[in-house]
Amino acid sequence: MKLVTFLQGGAERIGAVMPDGRILDFAAAEPRLAVDMLTLIRRQDELMPLARSLASAPPPAALLDAAAVHLLAPIPRPVSMRDGYAFRQHVATARRNRGLDMIPEFDLFPVTYFTNHLAVTGPGEVHVQDHHLTRLDFELEVAVVTGRPLKNATLEEADAAIFGYTIMNDWSARMLQMEEMKLSLGPCKGKDFATSLGPWLVTKDELDLEKSPKGELLHARMTCTVNGHQLSDGNADSMNWTFAQILQRTSYGIQMHPGEVIGSGTVGTGCLLELNGSKVTDNLWLKAGDEVVLEVAGLGRLVNTIT
- The strand pairing partners of 221, in sequence order, are 235
Q: Is 26 left (phi over 0), alpha (psi -120 to 50) or beta?
A: alpha
Q: What is the pLDDT along the chain (307 residues), one digit of tens a residue?
A: 999 999 988 899 999 999 999 999 999 999 999 999 999 999 999 999 999 999 999 999 999 999 999 999 999 999 999 999 999 999 999 889 888 899 999 999 999 999 999 999 999 999 999 999 999 999 999 999 999 999 999 999 999 999 999 999 999 999 999 999 999 988 999 999 999 999 999 999 999 999 999 999 999 999 999 999 999 999 999 999 999 999 999 999 999 999 999 999 999 999 999 999 999 999 999 999 999 999 999 999 999 999 9
Q: What pLDDT is stored for residue 94 in this prediction?
A: 87
Kindly give, in sequence order, each residue whose CB lies less than 8 Å from that of residue 5, ignoring residues fewer than 6 positions away: 12, 13, 14, 36, 37, 71, 72, 73, 74, 75, 76, 122
Q: Would the CA dihedral through 119, 168, 136, 104 be positive or negative?
A: positive
Task: Please check whether residue 207 is in contact with residue 220, taking contact to mean a CB–CB distance below 8 angstroms.
Answer: yes
> Helix, strand, or coil here: 8?
strand
Kindly give, in sequence order, each residue whose CB lies less than 8 Å from that of residue 130, ignoring residues fewer than 6 positions away: none
Q: Is 283 left (phi over 0), alpha (psi -120 to 50) or beta?
A: left
Task: Please check whether residue 121 is in contact with residue 147, taking contact to mean a CB–CB distance below 8 angstroms.
Answer: no
Task: Please check whether residue 32 is in contact with residue 26, taking contact to mean a CB–CB distance below 8 angstroms.
Answer: yes
- Comparing CA positions, the residue from 252, 241, 234, 250 lying closest to residue 215 is 241
Task: Please check whether residue 110 is in contact with residue 245, taking contact to mean a CB–CB distance below 8 angstroms.
Answer: yes
Tell me the C-alpha to C-alpha distance, in Å, between residue 265 and each of 35, 59, 182: 30, 40, 21
Kindly give, in sequence order, each residue whose CB lies less than 8 Å from that of residue 283, ignoring residues fewer than 6 positions away: 276
> Helix, strand, or coil here: 89?
helix
Q: What pLDDT is stored for residue 9 in this prediction?
A: 84
Tell me the C-alpha to C-alpha distance, in Å, between residue 284 and each of 97, 195, 224, 271, 272: 15, 20, 14, 10, 7
Task: Please check whether residue 84 is in contact with residue 111, taking contact to mean a CB–CB distance below 8 angstroms.
Answer: yes
Q: What pLDDT is stored for residue 26 in this prediction?
A: 98
Amino acid identity of 37? Answer: M
Task: Please check whether residue 300 is in contact with residue 119, taking contact to mean a CB–CB distance below 8 angstroms.
Answer: no
Q: What pLDDT is stored for residue 98 in this prediction?
A: 85
Cis peptide bond upstream of 31, omega within 30: yes
